[in-house]
Structure 1
């Protein structure tokens, strides 16, 4: 059997469809099917149960897929070893970033990185945390930037910085005249939230989990952007919480509506995450170093209380 054949097996296991797997592998469907059949004949077993729709792995097929992932990863590591020995930092690198980090952090480091490492072809995707975890585990991302800790067995996390939550409070709100606020000042029914699927939303819900709710709230609004939440707050529809870096781009009149929390400040932990097999670790280290260099002067909070990004049941 060959590495290419094992990659075909992994593709079918992921997409549960021979035609789609062939498209993703850039080969014809008959070619892919024939190569998988050759492996099955060589081993004398069936990897896939083709009678089921979608196609399912057999019991032995699941074990073969698990081992195939290890073999393909180790084969890829050979090129990694060569690149590191030569001091070469280049090639394709696929990076995922969650939506609440992408707009503020990416402009801070991207230009520096591509100038310093022009041989790296950086492919960046904006993805939510669940999508990132799935793509990292399936080998479709090399690394990602996300809020942590994520408690994922196969993923390593390297902390980049701690980013406090900052309240955006309009003049008409009762807490506007406070210089600093506390968690107890929050009313979850007044907080304008990002829509479901954003880990920053889950962080806010975790932060407010012990705050009493008002069942008489007249409405509930969720949005996909901080800009919309800010405008709604300005209309007197509530308050919102923002990540610290996002507040740096606000207009001067809007900066006056920001209120920081008393220490220890509730904050999210932002990390560079990647599979524990550490493929392309030389590029990952270069990326970490570049980001650390640009955020060092912009965000220097230490006395913080990390709020989990995981949705609590």
Structure 2
């Protein structure tokens, strides 16, 4: 039994196809199939049922796959130990970022990080929170940036910053005369929302649900981008809420429509999350240090109230 054989087993278990598993493992299909077969012969069991399409995992195979994940992770930890002992910060590192954070945060830290740590091959993927969690569990991501708390047993969360919500209220809106917003001002039927699946949307809904001014949950318009929500608000379709960093990118004529909240401002907690196994922790620590130092200067708010992204329907 070899680590390579276990890695091939994990690839087949994930993709349910020997050809695709070989492609993702950068080997030929006959090589991968032969190694998996050799492992099955050595163990005297079938890990995969090849008679079905897609390939399925046998009952004993499921137990083997679960154990293989642990063994492969521990093997990778050995290299990690050596890298840390040498003070080496480099190698491949895959980072996931949620869509509502990626456009504002990535340009702020990426150039600084790659210049400071040129030996790190940073691979960045934009994914919704559910996909980030799944890929962290499967080992396809080394870390991710997401709204927290998530309260997931196998994930560690390290806050990077607290980003206040800011109201975008056009001139003809009922709240345009308010200098400061409160949660009591919000009416969920009047707030333009992101599409389902965005954690920021869930946070806004939870914020609205904490008020008494809810007329119902029949949302007139939902969009995939904050830019679209701002444009729709300008057309008289309602108001919207924006994360603070997104407001920095608005044109000057639109910034006059921004309304901060009365202290404590509702805010979202943005954290660096990673598997509790802490593989490549030296790179994770370096990434956190760079991001925190940069964002600290951009967000000066101190008195905030964290709104959970977890849906509470």
TM-score in same-fold range (> 0.5): yes
Aligned residue-pair number: 312
Please tell me whether the aligned partners of residues 223 and 229 of structure 2 are also in contact (alpha carbons under 8 angstroms): yes
Structure 1 CA distance, aligned partners of 2:303 and 2:174? 27
Match in the other structure for 1:164: 164
Q: Determine helix, strand or coil for the equivalent of 1:76.
A: helix
Match in the other structure for 2:259: 259
Q: Encode CA deviations 1:281-300: one digit per residue, 9 max, x unaligned.
A: 00000000001110111113
When structure 1 is superposed on structure 2, of 96-105 and 300-309 the one drifting more is 300-309
Match in the other structure for 1:291: 291
Structure 1 CA distance, aligned partners of 2:228 and 2:217? 24
CA-based RMSD of the aligned residues comes to: 1.6
Structure 1 CA distance, aligned partners of 2:139 and 2:125? 14
Cα distance, 1:311 vs structure 2: 2.7
Match in the other structure for 2:58: 58
Match in the other structure for 1:223: 223
Q: Encode CA deviations 1:132-159: one digit per residue, 9 max, x unaligned.
A: 1111111111111110111222111100
Cα distance, 1:40 vs structure 2: 1.1
Match in the other structure for 1:119: 119
Cα distance, 1:53 vs structure 2: 2.9
Q: Determine helix, strand or coil for the equivalent of 1:82.
A: helix
Match in the other structure for 2:43: 43
Is 1:10 aligned to residue 10 of structure 2? yes
Cα distance, 1:216 vs structure 2: 10
Structure 1 CA distance, aligned partners of 2:53 and 2:306? 44
Q: Determine helix, strand or coil for the equivalent of 1:180.
A: coil
Question: How do 1:22-37 residues align onto structure 2 when only pairs under 5 Å count?
Answer: 22-37=22-37
Q: Encode CA deviations 1:226-245: one digit per residue, 9 max, x unaligned.
A: 11110110111100100011
Structure 2 CA distance, aligned partners of 1:77 and 1:290? 24
Match in the other structure for 1:136: 136
Structure 1 pair 49/312, CA: closer, same or farther in 2 (3 Å)?
Answer: farther
When structure 1 is superposed on structure 2, of 22-31 and 114-123 the one drifting more is 22-31
Please tell me whether the aligned partners of residues 182 and 261 of structure 2 are also in contact (alpha carbons under 8 angstroms): yes
Is 1:270 aligned to residue 270 of structure 2? yes
Match in the other structure for 1:152: 152
Q: Determine helix, strand or coil for the equivalent of 1:208.
A: helix
Q: Determine helix, strand or coil for the equivalent of 1:308.
A: coil
Structure 1 CA distance, aligned partners of 2:151 and 2:58? 29
Please tell me whether the aligned partners of residues 157 and 272 of structure 2 are also in contact (alpha carbons under 8 angstroms): yes
Match in the other structure for 1:174: 174
Match in the other structure for 2:196: 196
Structure 1 CA distance, aligned partners of 2:192 and 2:70? 45
Unaligned ranges ≥5, structure 1: none
Q: Determine helix, strand or coil for the equivalent of 1:181.
A: coil
Please tell me whether the aligned partners of residues 97 and 125 of structure 2 are also in contact (alpha carbons under 8 angstroms): yes
Please tell me whether the aligned partners of residues 95 and 123 of structure 2 are also in contact (alpha carbons under 8 angstroms): yes
Match in the other structure for 1:302: 302
Q: Determine helix, strand or coil for the equivalent of 2:204.
A: helix
Cα distance, 1:310 vs structure 2: 2.0
Cα distance, 1:210 vs structure 2: 4.1
Q: Encode CA deviations 1:79-102: one digit per residue, 9 max, x unaligned.
A: 111111111111111111111111
Q: TM-score of the superposition, structure 2-length normalised?
A: 0.95
Question: How do 1:205-216 residues align onto structure 2 when only pairs under 5 Å count?
Answer: 205-211=205-211, 212-214=213-215
Structure 1 pair 171/9, CA: closer, same or farther in 2 (3 Å)?
Answer: same
